[in-house]
Structure 1
Amino acid sequence: MEMPESQRSGNPRGIPLVRLRDNFLNLSSFANEETRKRHLFAYLLWLLGNLFPNSHGDVVVPGLIYIAENMVDEPLPEQPKYSFGSAMLSHTYKGLCDATQKTSFAQKAPLLCVAYEFLQLWSWEYLPVGRPRIVQPIYPYDFGEGASATMATRWTKARKRWSPDIAKNCYPMYHQQFEILDEAEVTWNPWTQDQLKMVFDARHFTPGMLTDSAFWLTRCNLLFLWCVEPYNPERVMRQFGLYQEIPPPFPRRIDEETHKLTNMGRGWSLYDWREENSEWVHKWTNEALADIVRQLRPYDGSTDQAYKQWYCMNTRASLASQPATIPTHLTQEEQARRHVELHAAYYRDHLIITCNFFRSIIS
């Protein structure tokens, strides 16, 4: 299939997702083996393009083509050849990092290039802020032969309902809820046996969910094409149900040159990043399961108080009360009478910082 003519100068930015969807959506039951392989190739490209979006938002990065091609043309390996979980984390970390530093020249707004569905489901699993209420769970989690349930199944398949208090401009409300969030309201470790039993009821959860759990405590850097991101599980041990050292270990970093690698200028050349990052690929292949955090002690709630003491000694105290002149939690009726700007929470933060500044001068 020929690529569509680009309205931009130079080579195409990538394969348009809409063309993959429109031209390969239906597969005839009489299709030959070659046609089936091409449809599988197109589906994998569409899937990878949505898992690893780029700043353009509507195309598949050319560097993903050889991965989909190899998955289709090569025989199925006995062991998985690709680690998509670590790749998604690397891509997400890079996207979150870039979003705090870069802006769009056209809209002057931060660019967040991550898989939004993944980030949304993670948030619902761990945090109560903005989480919908499940009014009709899906039991049992069985969708036919060969299909398996995942942790996301209960959110994507169940019937959900959001709080009627959530108005159109809900950012100030969410901001306030994060400000008063208590540690007891956070689901620190969704992978405990009790949590899985609660989610999957009497049906046993899919064993494949924990197949790669040995990688969760690796010290190796995470990789995705040009993205090389440090991974520091020893700083968030409570999420694994393990003992947290206080103070938390200093984060491991990578050199600035490696961290700032981008795909800019590679264009339509199908650049193979495996060669560029061969050192990191070799480390992951040979050391990911050997270089792990060694911790056998389970989580101990007594570390919470030690962490808070350490935190207060190493940070500045701030005002916890909300200035009465800047409302950030309005009902629908109140919003109808008074429009709430999305930046209201920013002004509230700015006011708190100003108050802290004058308080420090006075004291």
Structure 2
Amino acid sequence: MALIYYREQLVRMQPGQIMWQPYEADLGRLPAFCVAGRDTWTARVPLVCFCIVETHHPDRVLRQFGLAQERPDHVVYDHRLHRIDLRGKVEKNWREEHGPYILTWGMRQQRLCHAPPQIGEMPCDHAYYRWYCPVTRKYVDRNSAKLDIMYMYERRIN
């Protein structure tokens, strides 16, 4: 029952109800070691851990860092990285295998996302919203979609 309630709450949320900068107040209260290397948080780089490589895309969530959100760049996705299977005997030198990704990580200071601070609310006609709406999934499941349609219909009648 709680799941249905929370899904309903998510569907009914309006842009003004979203906390776009959830960490803003907390960052000033964190110990220095927690915010050391803060620039690295906004570096668009691959994160490498042995055989695993995932690309970090902070340009898609700049508002979390208190920066103005623009339309993000296209994501280049390497399908080979998600086909790696370690169930069999794997004898690979991952440093050599993922050398290009490790080099990119090493140049992270040149790959920072730069944006001015976000001041006030983002206008509804902003380029980010025009990009975001067609590429996002608004609904958690089919019932949420039905609920939203019913909710929108109810608002039009009243």
Cα deviation 1:57-108 (Å, max 9, x = unaligned)? xxxxxxxxxxxxxxxxxxxxxxxxxxxxxxxxxxxxxxxxxxxxxxxxxxxx
Residue type of the alignment partner of 1:262: I
Match of 2:3 in 1: 171
Gaps of 5+ in 1: 1-168, 319-344, 356-363
Q: Secondary structure at the match of 1:304?
A: coil
Change (3 A) 1:170 1:272: farther
Cα deviation 1:141-164 (Å, max 9, x = unaligned)? xxxxxxxxxxxxxxxxxxxxxxxx
Paired residue for 2:84, among 249, 262, 277?
262
Q: Secondary structure at the match of 2:13?
A: coil
Match of 2:130 in 1: 310
Match of 1:62 in 2: none
Cα deviation 1:223-276 (Å, max 9, x = unaligned)? 23323223322222211111122xx13322133223x23233344x57542232
Pair member with larger Rg: 1
Write the distance in 2 (CA, Å) between the matches of 1:264 and 1:311.
37
In the superposition, the TM-score normalised over structure 2's length comes to 0.69
Write the distance in 2 (CA, Å) between the matches of 1:349 and 1:249.
27
1:282 aligns with 2:99: no
Q: Secondary structure at the match of 1:290?
A: helix
When you count helix as a share of all residues, which structure comes out higher? 2
Write the distance in 2 (CA, Å) between the matches of 1:186 and 1:351.
22
In the superposition, the TM-score normalised over structure 1's length comes to 0.34
Change (3 A) 1:220 1:186: same
Greater RCO, CA 8 A, separation 6+: 2
Match of 1:181 in 2: 13
Q: Secondary structure at the match of 1:242?
A: coil
Residue type of the alignment partner of 1:195: D
Match of 2:74 in 1: 251
Matched ranges for 1:184-223 at <5 A: 184-192=16-24, 194-196=25-27, 205-223=30-48
Aligned residues of 1:230 and 1:252 also touching (Cα < 8 A): no
Write the distance in 2 (CA, Å) between the matches of 1:346 and 1:214.
37
Change (3 A) 1:228 1:304: farther
Write the distance in 1 (CA, Å) between the matches of 2:33 and 2:73.
33
Match of 2:94 in 1: 273
Write the distance in 1 (CA, Å) between the matches of 2:109 and 2:3.
41
1:298 aligns with 2:123: no
Q: Secondary structure at the match of 2:53?
A: strand
